[in-house]
Amino acid sequence: MLQNIPTHVIGGPLGAGKTSLIKRLLAQKPAHERWAVLINEFGQIGLDAALLTTTADGIALGEVAGGCLCCVNGVPFQIGLGRLLRKARPDRLLIEPSGLGHPAQLMAQLREAPWRGVLTVQPSVIVLDAAAMAAGQPLPATQQEALAEAGLVVMNKSEQLDEAARQALAEQMKPCALLWTRHADLPLNRLPGFVDCTAVDKQVVDNLTLPNSIGQLPALWADPNVPICLSQTSAEGWSVGWRWHPSQQFDLQRVLHWLEGMAWRRAKMVIHSEGGWYSGNVLEGAPLAWQISEWRQDSRLELIFSTPQDVDTLQAQMAGCLA
């Protein structure tokens, strides 16, 4: 029966490198294992699953958009995880909570019904931006709380730090186990609780008692020229996101110029351009580096701001970036 699935929570603040770390773990997946990845996003549009899309066998992706996994009595989380388990029948589960979420609360939920006995929660991995911390950027309280259950803290983006800066951070992070990385390169054998898995019977998962449904993002465009747009406000900030029909192509330079003129906190995107499909994931003040994307289903862009913006104005500006 389906039980004791090794479950790894990959936490950390916005832009630290959680998605990059998971992508590198997926590349190391043993061929005989089936993995599932549940992604939680602050915004409604759903982008991390697109960024993690892979053609590799034995990997199933699920997402819960629209805020912290722990909120709304955990209903979206229960639905999303239940569907993913039924679909994937995984040997291992990775969960990426939002950088604005509450990893410690999520860890507690995973140990309670209906997941008790189905999941075996391993010590978490917390990904931090070492360069930002060395520059004095404070760690959010929710991430500080999560350090207590961390089996490993990945000090990412650390390549420019000298030995003195690393020692100062190591002293600050005691007694956490640290791994210094450049691009969130976590060897699979360093993943806390990792042992080789064997296939298991998947019957018990269908006996989970879960809520019936949650709202779904519209799947079709009423007009291919008009994007699907969703926004939301919470205590952590305001987000807006768009899904554009795959027939629409953008000028990457126009997109870049448009983004440079705004004071967003984070921008994520998968864009269909005349030159192909490209993705980007950047925090305020950092340069945007385009990467080739395997996602081909639609263009998606999500922005997080500290305060609400005029959606119609933003959408018109993005439409002006079409090729």
pLDDT, one tens digit per residue, over 149-194 is: 899 999 999 999 999 999 999 999 999 999 999 999 999 999 999 9
pLDDT, one tens digit per residue, over 10-25 is: 999 988 999 899 999 9
DSSP assignment of 225-271, as one string? TS-EEEEEEETTEEEEEEEE-TT--B-HHHHHHHHHTS--SEEEEEE
Q: Can you give the length of the chain in residues? A: 323
What's the pLDDT band for 233 if we cut at 50, 70, 90?
confident
The encoded tokens of residue 12 equal 């950390």
Q: What is the mean pLDDT of residues 272-297?
A: 89
Is the domain spanning 5-190 CATH 3.40.50.720? The answer is no
* Neighbouring C-alpha atoms within 13 Å toward the C-beta of 304: 25
Classify each residue of 223-233 as buried b or exposed e, where b means 16 or more C-beta atoms within 10 Å of its C-beta. Answer: eeeebbbbbbe
- In this model, does residue 215 exceed pLDDT 60? no
- In this model, does residue 280 exceed pLDDT 50? yes
Dist. CA 248–CA 84, nearest whole Å: 30
SS3 104: helix
Dist. CA 117–CA 111, nearest whole Å: 8
What is the chain's mean pLDDT, rounded?
A: 86
Task: Identify residue 256 by its one-letter amino acid code.
Answer: L
- In this model, does residue 101 exceed pLDDT 90? no
- In this model, does residue 1 exceed pLDDT 80? no
